[in-house]
Chain A
Amino acid sequence: QQQVKQSPQSLIVQKGGISIINCAYENTAFDYFPWYQQFPGKGPALLIAIRPDVSEKKEGRFTISFNKSAKQFSLHIMDSQPGDSATYFCAASINSGYSTLTFGKGTMLLVSP
């Protein structure tokens, strides 16, 4: 049973556009929702994370939107750049991120010049 569903699998966006990646979860005990960015051959890097007491969190060009009632959260990358081309993973955990992470399957983002 996949507890975190991520879409789309792949995404092509033009430079300067907005990239949007969506995730849905099932376990209402989740209370920590991070997003990771991974370049080929590297480990995932924590990009931004949100807790369910807020509906949005912004860090630079990256924004997480969170909808607790729908059990969905999304990553928005504003003014997408070719350097943003990477695989993005959403994840969820209980215990404020101290416990095991349940990951989505990942989205390969390509930002065309």
Chain B
Amino acid sequence: DVKVTQSSRYLVKRTGEKVFLECVQDMDHENMFWYRQDPGLGLRLIYFSYDVKMKEKGDIPEGYSVSREKKERFSLILESASTNQTSMYLCASRQFFGPGTRLTVL
């Protein structure tokens, strides 16, 4: 069965903190994606990766970076969290989504 896990369901951080969101898949997929979901704006693509150590910017990459050191793990990094990054963050492996991380930045 398909399994995409995200490190945290809920996270509260302070402005300026560095934040790591982890995503792991067990399906040996090359393609992994990070989206954020906000009311009224739908799902927006932040970054994606088609292979280890490979990354591509999505529609809204500003303020984010990613890391793909191993095929099964794709990390999203907020270098200096800001309040406008409060959102639901969704990782996907191909077309399969994880449960999401609700991030609040105070």
Which A residues fall within an 8 A CB radius of B?
Answer: 32, 34, 36, 41-46, 49, 89, 93, 97-101, 103-106
Contact = CB atoms under 8 A, between A and B. Distances in A.
B97 A45 contact: yes
B57 to A, nearest CB: 11
B84 interface: no
Given A46-B96, A89-B43, A97-B95, 5 more contacts: A41-B100, A44-B43, A44-B90, A97-B94, A100-B48
Contacts of A45: 97
Given A44-B90, A100-B48, A105 B42 contact: yes
B8 to A, nearest CB: 13
Nearest to B89: A43
Interface in B21-47: 31, 33, 40, 42-43, 45
B58 interface: yes
B61 interface: no
B93 to A, nearest CB: 11
B37 to A, nearest CB: 9
